[in-house]
Amino acid sequence: MSDEPTTNFTASFVIPDEDPSFKHIPSKYYCSGCKKLLRHAFQTVCGHHVCETCKDELKECPVGDNDCKLSASLLEESESFIERFDTGIKRELSRLTVFCPFRHRGCAQECQWRHLQIHSENCEYGIFPCPYVKYGCEFKEIPRNKIIEHANKCKFHPERKVECRFGCGLEVKVKDLESHETECKNVHINCPLEDLGCTKISDVASREKVEEHIRSQNAFHFGLVSDSFGEVNDCVEVLTKDLIAVSETVEKLKDEIKKKDEIILRLQEEIANNRQDARNSNNNPDSFNSQEKSNSSGSFHSLEVNFGLLRVKFDEMEVRLESLEKSSYNGVLMWKIVDYMQKKRDAKTKKASTIYSPPFYSTRFGYKMCARAYLNGDGAGKDTHFSLYFVIMKGDFDHLLKWPFQQKITLSLLDMSGNGVHVSDTFRPDPNSKSFKKPTSDLNVASGCPQFIPIDLLENPSNGYLKDNQLLIKVSIDTSGLKDP
């Protein structure tokens, strides 16, 4: 592979997160502070180089050199210890000689770091997974020169016919197995109303038997559905009573605040009149009766304190009321983000880099969840993408629920033009991730998509994602198998 410079190649070179195996690397390419590779090099006023992490904490010469030219007079002339971002270091790093990452497999190729990715993608010693892994092949480390041979013989080749594993007698192409199993009469499934209490069939039975069960138990199933609607109506009644109680409390607080406002206004007028009388008597406010002044000021301060406490309580009740009005108990969140452009400006200036949705629930007494959005991107999507995450919250009934959380999650940005071109991402929780363990604080670590949708695509007027300066987010979980404790 040629090591000759390529036009604009270095400028577009992005330093990977992993260090390559350098043939030789001078010490000047390591941070003077943490001693790690200088991925983003900043030069100090004394001529040393530090990484982006170390520069923010720099208060003196990073090498602690007594003879360093970082003198008091030099510092007085500089607003910062950092003189500039050094792009030359990145250019020099990109031209250092590195070994192929498949050297241990026999590749003796050496090249400049900036050319390593292209070489790695074409190296004959590289390893790759079978192209039919999604159909069940477990071979994930096949040498490049063997991959075609393996693919042609692979028993999971999509065009190869295999006998149905459920014993229905049909031979089906590998690529069609999944769709066949959704129709195969021998596949074992549950009654679709099992969660509502149907126990008239074993836990699992063939699809053919379940279909016969459904046809013969229409009246029984109708009764189960009716009972379920009754439970839903009970929940609605409880929520309605809660909302009415909160609304009544809010109205009472409004009346109390109005009365306190009137009292404070009268006291302010009395204090102003008393001060004016004192000025008129001898043109000296200090001659005003100190005891009366003290009493009036004290009463006024006490009322101000009470007014502040009432205002806080009123705000808390409004938040609670809003939360109750927007909460859902069916595992689906519909979240309207209003005033999008202002919120995005706040995210850019880090005034409010992230926003949270109201909570929603899997069932009335189930998992408590919310969504989290970064309008100017987060992590790998910073400044380029809209980032969207799912968050497990600490709930009142967590001790009664099954952990870790295992329900399938779907994040969606809805197309409000009516064309139905929604952007969605569906994933299953990692049972080993702390994001889905039983919460020990108010919020678990968020999990989702830092590069959910490019900001340019979201804001493009020809799309229907941003309408009237608003976004509409939908988050849903698969509630199959979930019941209230």
The 3-class SS string of the chain reads: CCCCCCCCHHHHCCCCCCCCCECCCCHHHECCCCCCECCCCEEECCCCEECHHHHCCCCCCCCCCCCCCCCHHHHHHCCCCEEEECHHHHHHHHCCEEECCCHHHCCCCEEEHHHHHHHHHHCCCCEECCCCHHHCCCCCCEEHHHHHHHHHHCCCCCCCEEECCCCCCCEEEHHHHHHHHCCCCCCEECCCCHHHCCCCCCCCEEHHHHHHHHHHCHHHHHHHHHHHHHHHHHHHHHHHHHHHHHHHHHHHHHHHHHHHHHHHHHHHHHHHHHHHHHHHHHCCHHHCCHHHHHHHHHHHHHHHHHHHHHHHHHHHHHHHHHHHHHCCCCCEEEEEECCHHHHHHHHHCCCCCCEECCCEECCCCCCEEEEEEECCCCHHHCCCEEEEEEEEECCCCHHHCCCCCCCCEEEEECCCCCCCCCEEEEECCCCCCHHHCCCCCCECCCEEEEEEEEHHHHHCCCCCCCECCEEEEEEEECCCCCCCC
Residue 143: exposure state from Cβ atoms within 10 A (0-12, 13-18, ≥19) = middle
Question: Can you tell me the distance from the alpha carbon of 203 to that of 17, in angstroms, rounded to the nearest whole number?
Answer: 49
Question: Can you tell me the distance from the alpha carbon of 309 to that of 300, in angstroms, rounded to the nearest whole number?
Answer: 14
Give residue for tokens 């808390």. Answer: 316
Same fold, 9-122 and 332-477: no
Q: Please state whether beta strands 127-128 and 423-427 pair in parallel, antiparallel, or not at all (unpaired).
A: unpaired
The per-residue pLDDT for 403 is 95
Question: Can you tell me the distance from the alpha carbon of 341 to that of 386, in angstroms, rounded to the nearest whole number?
Answer: 13
CATH superfamily, region 9-122: Zinc/RING finger domain, C3HC4 (zinc finger) (3.30.40.10)
CA proximity to 143, closest of 99, 107, 98: 107
Q: What is the mean pLDDT of each run of 10 residues along the chain (485 residues)?
A: 41 73 89 84 77 73 59 48 67 90 88 90 85 86 84 87 84 86 82 79 74 83 80 80 85 85 82 74 52 54 61 60 73 94 90 90 93 91 92 94 94 92 90 90 90 93 92 94 80
Question: Can you tell me the distance from the alpha carbon of 371 to that of 475, in angstroms, rounded to the nearest whole number?
Answer: 7
CB 187 within 8 A of CB 166: yes
Question: Can you tell me the distance from the alpha carbon of 126 to that of 109, in angstroms, rounded to the nearest whole number?
Answer: 12
Question: Can you tell me the distance from the alpha carbon of 307 to that of 286, in angstroms, rounded to the nearest whole number?
Answer: 29
Question: Can you tell me the distance from the alpha carbon of 126 to that of 104, in angstroms, rounded to the nearest whole number?
Answer: 11
Give the contacts of 435 (CB within 8 A, at least 6 positions apart): 391, 392, 429, 444, 445, 446, 447
Structure tokens at 125: 């010693």
The per-residue pLDDT for 8 is 44
CA proximity to 144, closest of 130, 156, 128: 128
Structure tokens at 453: 């949708």
Give the contacts of 94 (CB within 8 A, at least 6 positions apart): 10, 13, 15, 112, 113, 114
Beta bridge partners of 349: none
Beta bridge partners of 128: 142
332-477 belongs to CATH 2.60.210.10 = yes
Break the chain into its structural domains and give their ranges. Answer: 9-122, 238-326, 332-477
Question: Can you tell me the distance from the alpha carbon of 47 to that of 83, in angstroms, rounded to the nearest whole number?
Answer: 9
Residue type, 451: Q
Question: Can you tell me the distance from the alpha carbon of 314 to that of 303, in angstroms, rounded to the nearest whole number?
Answer: 16
